[in-house]
Amino acid sequence: METKKCKKCGVEHSIEHYDWADKLRGYLKSYCRGCSMKTYNKWKVDNFEKHKEWFEQYYKNNPLMFGRTGLAKGRPMKTTQKSGVYLITNTETGETYVGCSSDVKRRIWRHFYNRGRSKIKPLSKGIKQYGLEAFTSEVLEYCDKEVMFEKETEWMMLYGCEYNTNKK
What whole-number percentage of the chain has pLDDT above 90?
11
User: Which residue, 151, 14, 22, is CA-closest to 83?
Assistant: 151
Distances (CA, A) of 32 to 8, 35, 38, 158: 8, 5, 10, 48
pLDDT at 10 over 90: yes
Q: State how far the Cα of 27 lies from the Cα of 49, in Å rounded to an integer.
A: 31
Least confident of 67-81, 109-123, 154-168: 67-81
- Residue 63's pLDDT band, with cuts at 50, 70 and 90, is low
- Residue 80's pLDDT band, with cuts at 50, 70 and 90, is low
**Type and span of the H or E element at 40:** helix 33-46
Report the SS3 class of residue 65.
helix
- Residue 75's pLDDT band, with cuts at 50, 70 and 90, is very low
- Dmax over Cα atoms in the chain, in whole Å? 57
Higher pLDDT, 157 or 64: 157
Q: What digits encode the pLDDT tens for the residues 27-46?
A: 999 999 899 888 888 888 89
84 has which bridge partners?
101, 142
Identify the structural domains of the chain with CATH numbers, from first to last. 3-61 (no CATH), 65-159 (3.40.1440.10)
What whole-number percentage of the chain has pLDDT above 70?
83
What pLDDT score was predicted for residue 42? 87
Angle between helices 104-114 and 121-130 (to 10 degrees): 60
What pLDDT score was predicted for residue 41? 83
